[in-house]
């Protein structure tokens, strides 16, 4: 007899269902476009050369040990991560009102931030975009916040429902938290323009909402780390508060190293000190202190100007490959005369395209073409290559005609 005999199996996770279906498909031409990992032109996982170099450098340094990091992680990593997102000349950093702690990638940073907010924010409501990354609602509700949605995506235009977004944020209770994806919105690939960000900022500030940026794709949207940080910097420049969950999974390809950071920009040094002390209380009972390897890799790259430059070149190459895949897919659909307007494929930003295909199309494509994507029609453009674009274009064409 088991202590667990009354446990029911967990409901199926649709993403895992797609993963298993793809894994168990014996077809030699199968293609999994459901995940959020960058693939090389050969369709393989991609380790950045600069990461290999940093690892070699670390392996040769025999002075390094395996002692525990402090609760808030590697302090050099924290400083450099804050600089990467806030900029070299950030006034908030200069004024010592920025707290950064190393966390377990983007997810861990979101969770630590959410636990902190659940304890210390008087308004428990947290607004996320409709739709948003599937893990957001779980992370926030399990931390004890109450998840609400603001309008974001307009299926008619396959673009931003800007009016709806502003209306919903304008109607949120003062003090509520708003999750804003800094760039390369997952799953829609739809980002506000800088002018729209400015209007969002005005509503957020005038309603005293607390912005929580999810910064999982810095550098992946435009290929440029500075451009992709603009929306966040706009909010920090007005002197107000915000939280930022930062991930190095995508932009350094460090998915499995689980390396990221939570930054909280406060209004004064005094508040920042208190916030930091409370963050440490959140971390200690969860995992005591974060892992060392990923933080060491990132720090090595960020502090060495040679490696930093190499990184920006490799990052730009990845972003350009994604852009070129978008263009090739769009052109392949044009060439086939596939019914409908597919220009959103080249308009959308980042790793994913929200194709507009429905679940019926997605199932048909999996069965007849051995291509796997999410049931909401999201495909990872970063998983395509010049060789597989025509396979996907054939599949989409057959599904919609
Ligand atoms: N936030 C968004 C919007 C994402 O798409 C992802 C990953 O896909 C994450 C956060 C978290 O990624 P990680 O925990 O690997 O950094």
Q: Which atom of ligand 1 is nearest to the CA of 181?
A: 3
Structure tokens at 182: 């800094």
Q: Is 115 in the pocket of ligand 1 (CB under 6 A)?
A: no
The torsion angle over the Cα atoms of residues 371, 374, 379 and 383, rounded to 10 degrees, is -60
State how far the Cα of 264 lies from the Cα of 154, in Å rounded to an integer: 31
Predicted local confidence at residue 292, as pLDDT: 98
Beta-carbon contacts of residue 346 (< 8 Å; ≥ 6 apart): 326, 327, 330
Pairwise CA distance, residues 379 & 252, whole Å: 21
Q: Which atom of ligand 1 is nearest to the CA of 132?
A: 3
- Burial code of 153-166, b = ≥16 C-beta within 10 A, e = fewer? bbeeebebbbeebb
Give the Å distance between the CA of 248 and the centre of ligand 1.
9
Ligand 1 midpoint to CA 368 (Å): 30
- Beta carbon of 328 within 6 Å of any ligand 1 atom: no
Could you tell me which residues come within 8 angstroms of residue 273 by beta carbon, excluding any fewer than 6 positions away? none
Ligand 1 near 325 CB (within 6 A): no
Q: Is 247 in the pocket of ligand 1 (CB under 6 A)?
A: yes
Report how far residue 371's alpha carbon sits from residue 281's, in angstroms, rounded to the nearest whole number.
45
Atom of ligand 1 nearest to the CA of 255: 15
**Residue 288: both structure tokens together:** 């005591």
Contact 186 CB / ligand 1 (< 6 Å): yes
In which residue ranges of the chain is pLDDT below 70? none
Residue 35: the pLDDT is: 85
Question: Of the residues 186, 246, 294, which should be mutated to test ligand 1's pocket, given the most ligand atoms within 8 Å of the CB?
Answer: 186
Q: Tokens 């220009």, residue?
A: 343
Q: Which atom of ligand 1 is nearest to the CA of 136?
A: 1
99 closest CA partner among 319, 246, 208, 304: 246
The pLDDT assigned to 122 comes to 84
What tokens were used for 189?
A: 């690939």
The residue whose CB lies within 8 Å of the most ligand 1 atoms, and thus the one to mutate among 133, 244, 258, is 133
**Distance, CA 2 to ligand 1 centroid (Å)?**
36
Catalytic residue annotation: 133, 214, 250
Compute the distance from residue 197 Cα to the ligand 1 centre, in Å.
21
Our mutation pick for probing the ligand 1 site, out of 216, 232, 294, 381, counting the most ligand atoms within 8 A of Cβ, is 216
Distance CA 381, CA 387 (A): 13
- Asked whether 103 and 262 are in contact (CB, 8 A), the reply is yes
Task: From 241, 262, 201, 212, select the one nearest 95 (Cα to Cα).
Answer: 241
Distance 363 CA to ligand 1 centre (A): 25
For the chain, the three-class secondary structure string (H helix, E strand, C coil) is CCCCCCCCCCCCCHHHHHHHHHHCCCCCCCEECCCCCCECCCCCECCCHHHHHHHHHHHHCCCCCCCCCCCCCCHHHHHHHHHHHHCCCCHHHHCCCEEEEEEEHHHHHHHHHHHHHHHHCCCCEEEEEECCCCHHHHHHHHCCCEEEEEECEECCCCEECHHHHHHHHHCCCCCCEEEEECCCCCCCCCCCCHHHHHHHHHHHHHCCCEEEEEECCCCCCCCCCCHHHHHHHHHHHCCCCEEEEEECCCCCCCHHHCEEEEEEECCCHHHHHHHHHHHHHHHHHHHCCCCCHHHHHHHHHHHCHHHHHHHHHHHHHHHHHHHHHHHHHHHHHHHHCCCCCCCHHHHCCCCEEECCCCHHHHHHHHHHHCEECCCCCEEEHHHCCHHHHHHHHHHHHHHHC
Tell me how far apart the alpha carbons of residues 102 and 279 are, in angstroms, rounded to a whole number: 11
Q: Is 183 in the pocket of ligand 1 (CB under 6 A)?
A: no
pLDDT in tens, 352-361: 999 999 999 9
Q: What is the residue with the minimal CA distance to atom 12 of ligand 1?
A: 106
Output the pLDDT for position 287: 96
Q: Is 214 in the pocket of ligand 1 (CB under 6 A)?
A: yes
Residue with tokens 């199968």: 30
pLDDT single digits (tens) 172-226: 999 999 999 999 999 999 999 999 999 999 999 999 999 999 999 999 999 999 9
Residue whose structure tokens are 């673009």: 159
pTM (2 decimals)?
A: 0.96
Nearest atom within ligand 1 for CA of residue 106: 16
Taking only the tens place, the pLDDT of each residue in 281-299 is 999 999 999 999 999 999 9
Please give the distance, rounded to the nearest whole angstrom, from the Cα atom of residue 110 to the centre of ligand 1: 9
Ligand 1 geometric centre to CA of 107 (Å):
6
What is the model's pLDDT at position 3? 93
Q: Do the beta carbons of residue 319 and residue 379 sit within 8 Å? A: no
Regarding the beta carbon of 218 and ligand 1, being less than 6 Å apart is answered no
């Amino acid at each position: 007899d088991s202590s667990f005999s009354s446990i029911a199996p967990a409901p199926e996770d649709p993403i895992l269902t797609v993963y298993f279906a793809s894994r168990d498909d014996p077809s030699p031409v199968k293609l999994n476009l459901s995940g959020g990992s960058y693939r090389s032109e050969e369709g393989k996982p991609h380790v950045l050369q600069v990461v290999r170099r940093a690892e070699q450098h670390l392996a040769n340094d025999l002075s390094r040990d395996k002692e525990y990091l402090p609760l808030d992680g590697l302090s050099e990593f924290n400083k450099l991560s804050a600089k990467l997102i806030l900029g070299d000349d950030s006034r908030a950093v200069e004024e010592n009102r920025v707290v950064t702690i190393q966390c377990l990638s983007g997810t861990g940073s979101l969770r630590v931030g959410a636990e902190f907010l659940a304890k210390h924010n008087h308004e428990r409501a947290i607004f996320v975009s409709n739709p948003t990354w599937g893990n957001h609602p779980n992370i926030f509700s399990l931390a004890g916040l109450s998840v609400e949605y603001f309008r974001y995506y307009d299926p008619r235009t396959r673009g931003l429902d800007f009016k709806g977004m502003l209306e919903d944020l304008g109607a949120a209770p003062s003090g509520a938290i708003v999750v804003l994806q800094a760039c390369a919105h997952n799953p829609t690939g739809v980002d506000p323009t800088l002018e729209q960000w400015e209007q969002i900022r005005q509503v957020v500030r005038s309603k005293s909402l607390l912005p929580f940026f999810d910064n999982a794709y810095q550098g992946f949207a435009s290929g440029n780390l500075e451009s992709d940080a603009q929306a966040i910097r706009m909010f920090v420049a007005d002197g107000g508060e915000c939280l930022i969950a930062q991930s190095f999974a995508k932009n350094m390809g460090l998915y499995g190293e689980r390396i990221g950071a939570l930054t909280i920009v406060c209004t004064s040094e005094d508040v920042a000190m208190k916030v930091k002390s409370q963050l440490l209380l959140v971390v200690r009972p969860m995992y005591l202190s974060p892992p060392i390897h990923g933080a060491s890799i990132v720090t090595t790259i960020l502090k060495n100007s040679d490696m930093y430059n190499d990184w920006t070149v490799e990052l730009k190459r990845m972003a350009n490959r994604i852009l070129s895949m978008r263009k090739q897919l769009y052109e392949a659909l044009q060439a086939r005369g596939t019914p409908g307007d597919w220009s959103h494929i080249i308009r959308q930003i980042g790793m994913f395209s929200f194709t507009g295909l429905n679940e019926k199309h997605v199932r048909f494509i999996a069965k007849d073409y051995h291509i796997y994507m999410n049931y909401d029609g999201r495909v990872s453009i970063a998983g395509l290559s010049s060789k597989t674009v025509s396979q996907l274009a054939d599949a989409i064409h057959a599904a919609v005609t």
